[in-house]
Structure 1
Amino acid sequence: MKELEILLDRRWILKSEDKELYYKVRDSIGEIRRFATEKMGCQIIENSLLVKMEKIPAIPQTFMGIEDFTSREEYVFLCMLLMFLEDKDGEEQFILSQLTEYIEANMPGTPVDWTIYTNRRRMVKVLRYAASQGLIKVTDGSDDLFMDEKSGEVLYENTGASRYFMRNFSRDIMDYTSPEDFRESDWFDVDEDRGIARRHRVYKRLLFSVGMYKNAGPEEDFEYLKYYGRRLAEDLEQNFDCQVHIHKGSAFFMMGDDCRMGSAFPGNNALSDIILLCCGKIREKVTGGLWKTGSDDRIIVEKIEFENMLKEVKAEKGSGFTKNYREMPEGEFVRELTESLERWTFIQCDENQHQVEIYPSAGKMAGCYPEDYTGGNKNEQ
């Protein structure tokens, strides 16, 4: 069901940007809604502006944030922009100074000083992200002017899509007292370990995450897989080009060549190649008896030992890296690889214990050079 796959892959489909695809998805909306609501508990929004599937994860993870953002202030500015647009009609225009004045007047706590370059740069990053998502359009001017000077103006147009950017809540969020309340808001009055809620959770964990692990969520979810795993696998494999792998302590949704849903690993880039080589080295450590897997197929090693493994990969395989990674200082190489492995949930670093927990997903794939590889440099990218 390609239309379902498209909705899982994208935030939404805007009629103004792709009218043909918009109508194609709406023609299949009945079948899509049936799968989304029955299997995943995801709401489908359709109107004259867009079609959207509300993709709320069962277990929030770091990689699910907005990759373009690097500070908490940028998320705050985005929320302020959404509040500002709430009072605007579709196709209504506004200038940047109207937005900055609104933020100045309504920002809780310390007022925003737009004479500070960092604040202007963060605001521009948020505006560019909003434009890329179809929330606003640039009608006239350039945000580079505002980046250089607080008096720089840009004319924007509200598309009307901003009202559907945030998720819908079943309760007044002002009553929430902890982050967990946001995750559980749809199931406050339901036994989450049974029936429909558990099914929704399992489907979401498989479709929205790199892997599903037994001790990273309710254990009852693996009880569901124990009894209904084969039926679930058949269901997913009928709707997508995929394979579902279910193990003792983990489960994975493995996409095929014709399946396109969000970011996938490995990507067609040098970093993915190096990560695959690292996974291969992890396998060597396990098969050689140097690293032991636990009952849940996880591996726990000292952080310094893990970093030495990354250095080994660079020393042994680095001649085949692209120039950037060949010449990268050892410390920077270790830091970038560790961050990437953690972002893809192959590992989890425990800074307090100075340990690294290696997840079973690191053993699902591995990379190596061809047998006839002589150690010369690969073509640079």
Structure 2
Amino acid sequence: MEKNSPRWEIEKRECAQALLNRPWVTKEADPDLFRAIRSHYEELRDWFREHCGFTLLVTRHFAKLEKVPGRAQPWMGFSEFNDPRDYALFTYGLWFLEGKGEGEQFLLTEMVMAIREHLLGSGVELDWTLYDHRLSMVRALKRLQEMGILQAVDGDEMEWVRSGGDQNVLYESSPLGRYVLRQFPRDLTTYTRMEELGEGLYADTPEGQLLRRKHYIYRRLIQEPVVYDREWSPEELHYVLTQRRSLLEQLANMLGLEGRRYREGLLFFYPEATGEMQLFPTARTISDIALLLAGEARRRLGQENSNLYVDEQGRLHLTRADLEGLVLDLRERYKDYWSQQYRRTRSGELTADLLAHLEEWGLAGHGPGDELWLEPALARWSGNYEEDLQAERQVCSPRTSEPGDCTPVPEQM
């Protein structure tokens, strides 16, 4: 393939997207992509280091981009973990595996007893006779397996849970475990604030602080669905406004992101669906309901008896009761298109699910009491079902800001 040809640039963007959205790319699981990353290594390494402060590791067996969030968000964690204990056991599982060689086999009971004894030395007690503790350990083990850090050779973790710890599982370790936790520039015990964990070593000079600001802005723009102007500090907003052309060009060339300047901020999107990342709208019915809500809220805003209003930041304010009423009306009109779950669920639960979905994507927020608001970026979307074309739905493309400019896509519900 000729260097800098159109195909070369497409392949480079595919590599960058994979590195951003996967824990790592292994030679064994995806040899073609791994070879492509090695071919583009220098350009990928230099770009991520210069613009994001990320380190690209490439060994004989895998490639990993050591990513750091600009601002940590709840959805950045493991979705299957529902207790802090799960994360702790995941980390201590990595600690245990550091002492194992590649392909070395061990038993689950060996692992859990070593973790328990290690924690007892720190004054923390784990009780494997407790069902919740065993279940947390299994959630951590399953995540370790999904990441390819260890492999179950024989046995089932859930049998260990159900049997009260009497059953066993045989595992085999891989060398990936020692590369999960990223390298920190100094000893962890010297950090005093969570925010420091996301920072590198920046010189206490104007140039060093400018580099820190640049990395922070790029990280947020490529890792979060939307960042509004009001979320930047005055210095950061000045950078976004004055470096807009460079931001647009860099993210387009390396990641295939298209961006536009709107009143609420500089917004980026992928013009086509891709399997490397989660995009809004998702394939879930709750995203379809969010699109319907966007159009319905805009229509009601112009009605004389509407309680909805827009503040100076472009946010559409409403109460939880208002939102629930909108959702009920939408369900009455469109329930035949919805999944059985949302046709039958209680209105309060449906509203809560919808609000959580919108907040996760930066499209809604809530204040004290029952105060809610829909973010201005949600107004860039609208959805409705075509009665005469039931196999299609209409959704607004994020590439247009006109409410009525919609593009049909296949029905997925």
Query: Structures share a fold, TM > 0.5?
Result: yes
Matched, 1:132 2:146: yes
Q: Which moved more, 1:125-134 or 1:189-198?
A: 189-198
1:18 to partner: Cα distance: 2.4
Note if 1:73 corresponds to 2:85.
yes
For 1:315, the aligned partner's letter is E
Equivalent position of 1:60 in the other structure: 72
Other-structure match for 1:144: 158
Aligned positions of 1:1-381 closer than 5 A: 1-107=13-119, 108-149=122-163, 150-187=165-202, 189=204, 194-257=209-272, 259-288=274-303, 290=306, 291-350=308-367, 352-370=368-386, 372=388
Tell me, which stretches of 5 or more residues in structure 1 are unaligned? Answer: none
For structure 2, list consecutive stretches of 5 or more residues without a partner in the other structure.
1-12, 391-410
Task: Report the 3-state secondary structure (helix = DSSP H, G, I; strand = E; otherwise coil) of the residue aligned with 1:118.
Answer: helix
User: Kindly tell me: are residues 229 and 327 of structure 1, through their superposed partners in 2, closer, same or farther at Cα, counting changes over 3 Å?
Assistant: same
Deviations 1:13-45 (A, max 9, x none): 122322332222112111111211112221111
Query: TM-score if structure 1 supplies the norm length?
Result: 0.90
Tell me: CA distance 1:308–1:115, structure 2 relative to 1, closer, same or farther (3 Å): same
Q: What is the match of residue 398 of structure 2?
A: none
- Structure 1 CA distance for aligned equivalents of residues 198 and 245 of structure 2: 28
Q: Normalising by the residue count of structure 2, what TM-score does the alignment of the two structures yield?
A: 0.84
The SS at the match of 1:138 is: strand
Q: Give the superposition deviation at 1:258.
A: 5.6
CA contact (8 A) 1:241 1:259 kept: no
Name the SS of the counterpart of 1:151 in structure 2.
Answer: coil
Q: Which amino acid is the alignment partner of residue 138 of structure 1? A: A
| Matches of 2:371 and 2:213, distance apart in 1 | 32
Residues 331-340 or 70-79, more deviating: 331-340
Q: Which amino acid aligns with 1:23?
A: R
Secondary structure of the residue aligned to 2:383 is coil
Could you say if the C-alpha distance between residues 309 and 302 of structure 1 is closer, same or farther in structure 2, counting changes exceeding 3 Å? same
Q: Secondary structure at the match of 1:44?
A: strand
CA contact 1:43–1:54 (8 Å) conserved in 2: yes
Secondary structure in 2 matching 1:90: coil
User: Deviation of residue 109 (structure 1)?
Assistant: 4.5
Moved more, 177-186 or 30-39: 177-186
Kindly state the Cα deviation for residue 193 of structure 1 after the two structures are TM-superposed: 9.2
Letter of the structure 1 residue corresponding to residue 343 of structure 2: R
Shift of 1:185: 4.6
Aligned residue identity for 2:375: Y
* AA matched with 2:350: F
State how many pairs are aligned: 377
**Alpha-carbon distance change, 231 to 309 in structure 1, aligned in 2, over 3 angstroms:** same
2:106 and 2:23 mapped to 1: Cα distance? 25
SS in structure 2 of the partner of residue 161 of structure 1? helix
Deviation sequence 1:88-143 (CA, Å, 0-9, x none): 22222211011110221122444111122222122111111110011111122221
Greater CA drift, 153-162 or 179-188: 179-188
Structure 1 residue matching 2:384: 3-state secondary structure: coil
> Are residues 286 and 42 of structure 1, via their aligned partners in 2, closer, same or farther at CA, if it must alter by over 3 Å?
farther
SS in 2 for 1:357: strand
What's the offset of the Cα at 1:74? Answer: 0.5
- Structure 1 residues 285 and 218: alpha-carbon distance in aligned structure 2, compared to 1, 3 A threshold: farther
In 1, the alpha carbon distance for the partners of 2:275 and 2:244 equals 23
Q: What's the secondary structure of 1:51's corresponding residue?
A: strand
Rounded to whole Å, the distance in 1 between the matches of 2:354 and 2:208 is 37
Q: What secondary structure does 2:136 align onto?
A: helix
Structure 1 residues 250-286: Cα deviation after superposition (integer angstroms, max 9, x where no partner): 2221101165542111122322211211222232244
**Identity across the alignment (%):** 26
Alpha-carbon spacing, 1:240–1:259, altered in 2? closer, same or farther (3 Å):
farther
Contact 1:192 1:198 in 2 (8 A): no
Whether contact under 8 Å (2:264, 2:377) holds in the other structure is no
The residue type paired with residue 267 of structure 1 is T
Letter in 2 for 1:71: D
Separation of aligned partners in 1, 2:27 and 2:366: 43
